Amino acid sequence: DAKTTQPNSMESNEEEPVHLPCNHSTISGTDYIHWYRQLPSQGPEYVIHGLTSNVNNRMASLAIAEDRKSSTLILHRATLRDAAVYYCILRGANSGYSTLTFGKGTMLLVSP
Partner 1 sequence: DSGVTQTPKHLITATGQRVTLRCSPRSGDLSVYWYQQSLDQGLQFLIQYYNGEERAKGNILERFSAQQFPDLHSELNLSSLELGDSALYFCASSRTVVSGNTIYFGEGSWLTVV
Give the binding site for partner 1 (CB under 8 A): 30-32, 38, 41-46, 49, 51, 91-93, 95-104
Measured from the CB atom, the residue of 41 and 112 that comes closer to partner 1 is: 41
- Give the Cα separation of 1 and 90 in Å (integer): 7
Residues with Cβ < 8 Å from 11, sequence gap 6 or more?
Answer: 108, 109, 110, 111
Measured from the CB atom, the residue of 2 and 14 that comes closer to partner 1 is: 2
Measured from the CB atom, the residue of 43 and 112 that comes closer to partner 1 is: 43
- Give the Cα separation of 62 and 97 in Å (integer): 24
Least distance in angstroms from the C-beta of 72 to partner 1: 20
